[in-house]
Amino acid sequence: MEPQSFVEIKEEWDIVGARQMGRNIAKEAGFGTVDQARIATAISELARNIYLYAGSGTISYEILEKMGRKGLIITATDSGPGIPDLSLVMEDGYTTSGGLGAGLPGVKRLSDEFDLRSEEGKGTTVQCIKWVR
């Protein structure tokens, strides 16, 4: 894999493309099947949020080697409307679209490290890291 790669999210089918690519990269990096599924699921949630709430954006993948550990950084970026209340959207069940409201809190639990940044009117960036066990 290239040190960094990304998928643009513009249409619904890109959600599938992004999670398939994430799974392939995770497999190649040595993640087990359960973690591959966790990574693919997290990407699916982030990509759908981009598609639903921002219209378009990117999912990028980066392999990280730190102190003998290998990890995968997933970054979801968009220039959409942003999120006014960060703690609210991290509550299980909070949704503005009739969804399950399980996406962002779920991604946090699926990841080893999770970071959500957003500015109203500017956009949103979610970054999560999963370490190979």
Ligand X SMILES: Nc1ncnc2c1ncn2[C@@H]1O[C@H](COP(=O)(O)OP(=O)(O)O)[C@@H](O)[C@H]1O
Binding interface with other proteins (CB under 8 A): 12-13, 15-16, 19-20, 23, 33-34, 36-38, 40-41, 44-45, 48, 92, 99-100, 102-103, 105-106, 109-110
Residues 6+ apart with CB under 8 A from 104: 45, 49, 89, 90, 116, 126
> Which one among 37, 41, 56, 94 touches ligand X, defined by CB under 6 A?
94
Give whichever of 15 and 63 is closer to Mg ion, judged by the CB atom: 15
Give the phi and the psi of residue 72 in degrees, each rounded to 5. -125, 125
Distance CA 51, CA 46 (A): 9
Query: Is 53 a binder of ligand X (CB under 6 A)?
Result: yes
Q: Residue 50: which of Mg ion, ligand X, other proteins, none does it interact with, CB under 5 to 8 A by kind?
A: ligand X
> Which one among 23, 39, 47, 103 touches ligand X, defined by CB under 6 A?
103
